[in-house]
Structure 1
């Protein structure tokens, strides 16, 4: 999710109404208190959910997502995010109102401001996650899988988009532009969720993992282009070809240019790091590099996570890679759970309740979108060529989760007024299901290969068996 998708709370009418009455010295501590309480809730939800999932042999990230759903708008309302300008105080801000004696309008302002702070922290969390994933990735392996990853990404965008759009038009008689918008939502892939699961399973550097990550990065770029096209279509009824061409060229120039220049300049970077004597002499310059590339990506109308991932790839080629990985891990442990809990907290699972009559048309359409959304990504594994013995099913499943990227499509569609309530609910339901089924499915399809009895008799065989058990656990 790009930071540009966050609506600044300063533009909300409440600021105009309260600007003369709000004392920063009074509201500042209250906002800080709301943020701190939100972080307590987030860390508890992520830790409890992650530990439970690990004990039942599911990826910890799934527990963080579920924990977010429980503390979010679907269940406990401890975390409520004011998106699209809406103001809905959370239980945390209500508690502050009761203890501090605030007016309701001020409470709403505190709630919205703190939710924006947490949202920005979650964005920084996913930037750190992609930087860490880039460090752990094998750049030569990604380049080797480049053509195959490109094919997987293109098929993963084209198949669900075409199947979803045509199916909605002919089976459900939905108008063309809303059908195109819903079909576009099917093209998304959440690189953050898939990458975290692969890292937990120690499969990130596997041939399957490299193809999935490479395809997910390209899929993210294609998703941005598709979103720009359908958003333009929704507003004007026409597509601005110049904007599409610009995004394609800027994406290619950014990725290729960043890697080439990074490789050329990395010796000078390491020379500078070696001359620094203060704390964080390696970590801080590396984060500066990652954030700078993230800014350049945003300036080019791409995503900050692509810049951070590219920075990780470049620095992962240096001889300080292992040292930098060790220093990044504690920061990732602090910030990354915020991202996954926030994704769950923003997810409204009430759209899945069939007892609500208004949900039923959306659930019928959602069933179709879920099938297309899963199968449309799974078939991408069949396009992998020249890799005998590779787990093609795992590659397809790794492209399934829509996560926060799918929610962006839904949010843009809702804001444009193109989507009906039933179609909007169907897209959200598809995002929820694909996000939550992908981690356990990855665990299933990535079962360790069987080790023969004679092999176990050798020292190498014992090492393989031990590694397989660790990966399974």
Structure 2
């Protein structure tokens, strides 16, 4: 995600390390509360406007994040994007209303921004847990081999095409080209899954293939990220670390699903014995967070652990009841994630008046073409006699979202990416994230219209 995977020195400063002086400490909470007000306003206004425009609400949440973020209103900015306390409207509000001193502004800004970032991470963990609950493991297993092929094609094609194109066409050095090519491999399962759920297509064959492929894509993306990060630091691949990641990712996912068959009965028994409020949702969240923790400590994405937990609990008799209890928690936390993703996007890289940006725009155009084509063709990698919407599958793999921002962030922090290439990757992430939801809706609507036409023709005959 946009935080997990980055160097601890870059992002994960502990709250204790950045804790302000006692006089300023209460203002950290005030900063969090004001930030949440802006997040929820952006989320609801953006979502409602998107709904009116017949677009997925998640797109409105992302756009709302862009508007309140570093690109426009500066209501929600983060230190890791290069923002300082003076850039934050929240800090200004705290200075004028709550008496925040200039000396404490940087400490308070860093602290409340980190809390919001952690809440966003919790949001995406809850989102993937919810998606896991909504996914049918039996159906996911039916499309497992097809999802694996889609994922592999969706990683190999854009990586090879992007890396080779940057080296041959733009004369780029090997390591930056490999890093940019790797950024093209990611797929944002959070964004795609949310859109599929909103369209009612999550449990369709196409939806299950997309989700399954995105999960595998995420694992492959972590492996690719480990390789390119190793290249950036040492100039060579750490084979031992690579083998460890492959084995641990495979063992974790398969082991979780296998052990889940024995865990389900115990979970239901525990939930039925508890008599106080939250007797179902609290044990479920405990399990989800434990799985996310385990995934994180073995250097996998925490969201994979949460998704695996959802898949396991999907098999219990309490799934429908649990699904209803998770919804309000998701309504509170998930918008923080999507708005935060949008808020981190800096649209100033689209300014063509800057010579640096013009070079980046040319590279970005190439990366965008590779990013879209490299994923769309994955739909035609699906085999089998069953009729599937291949275009929808390919489009569902397009958005890079927060996953692409991880690559850009690590590449920028390591010094591998110069400004034009960094700008190009960010532009690619922006466009692929924003165009996928409406295109996915269009692809499924086109399938429905074609089915209606076929039905009408059959009736006439």
For the residues of structure 2 that align with 1:53 and 1:351, how far apart are their CA atoms? 25
1:8 to 12, 17, 22: 12
User: Contact (CA 8 Å) 2:223, 2:246: kept in 1 or not?
Assistant: yes
- TM score, norm. by length of structure 1: 0.92
Following the alignment from structure 1 to structure 2, what is the Cα–Cα distance between the partners of residues 406 and 233? 18
Of 203, 206, 209 in structure 2, the residue corresponding to residue 205 of structure 1 is 203
Does the 8 Å contact 1:9/1:113 carry over to 2?
A: no
Corresponding pairs, count: 450
Partner of 1:248: 246
CA-CA distance at 1:300 after TM superposition:
0.9
Structure 1 residue aligned with 2:161? 163
1:39 aligned to 2:43? no
How far does residue 4 in structure 1 lie from its aligned partner after superposition?
5.0
In structure 2, how many angstroms separate the alpha carbons of the residues matched to 1:454 and 1:178? 50
Alpha-carbon spacing, 1:388–1:38, altered in 2? closer, same or farther (3 Å) = same
Residues 1:398 and 1:40: Cα distance change in structure 2 (over 3 Å)? same
Could you state the TM-score of these two structures normalised by the residue count of structure 2? 0.94
Which secondary structure state, in structure 2, belongs to the residue aligned with residue 202 of structure 1? coil
1:268-307 matched pairs, under 5 angstroms: 268-307=266-305
TM-superposed deviation, 1:100: 3.2
| Cα distance in 2, alignment partners of residues 410 and 378 from structure 1 | 22
Q: Distance in 2 between matches of 1:454 and 1:399?
A: 27
Post-superposition CA distance 1:282-334 (Å, at most 9, x none): 00000000000000000110011000001000101111010000000000000
**Higher mean displacement: 87-96 or 164-173:** 87-96
Match of 1:352 in 2: 350
Correspondence for 2:188: 190
Give how far 1:41 is off: 0.3
Where does structure 2 lack aligned partners over 5 or more consecutive residues? none
Question: Aligned residue for 1:81?
Answer: 78
Structure 1 contact 68–345 (Cα < 8 Å) conserved: yes
CA contact (8 A) 1:290 1:312 kept: yes
2:156–2:185 contact (8 Å) kept in structure 1:
yes
Change (3 A) 1:103 1:183: same
Matches for 1:399-418 after TM superposition, within 5 Å? 399-418=397-416
| Offset at residue 84 of structure 1 (A) | 7.0
Contact 1:224 1:302 in 2 (8 A): yes
* Residue 68 (structure 1) aligned with residue 65 (structure 2): yes
1:174 corresponds in structure 2 to 172
> Are the counterparts in 2 of residues 135 and 312 from structure 1 also a CA contact under 8 Å?
yes
Answer yes or no: is 1:149 the counterpart of 2:147: yes
Q: Where in structure 2 are the equivalents of 1:423-438 lying within 5 Å? A: 423-438=421-436
Matched, 1:449 2:448: yes
Given that 1:80 and 1:88 are in contact with CA atoms closer than 8 Å, whether structure 2 keeps it comes out as: no
Shift of 1:94: 1.2
Cα offset, 1:28, TM superposition: 2.5
Question: 3-state SS of the aligned residue for 2:304?
Answer: helix
Q: CA 1:270–1:97 in 2, change beyond 3 Å: closer, same or farther? A: same
Kept in 1: contact 2:85–2:105 (CA 8 A): no
Deviations 1:227-266 (A, max 9, x none): 0000000111100111110000001110011111111121
Q: Give the aligned partner of residue 470 of structure 1.
A: none
Q: Displacement of 1:280 after TM fit?
A: 0.3
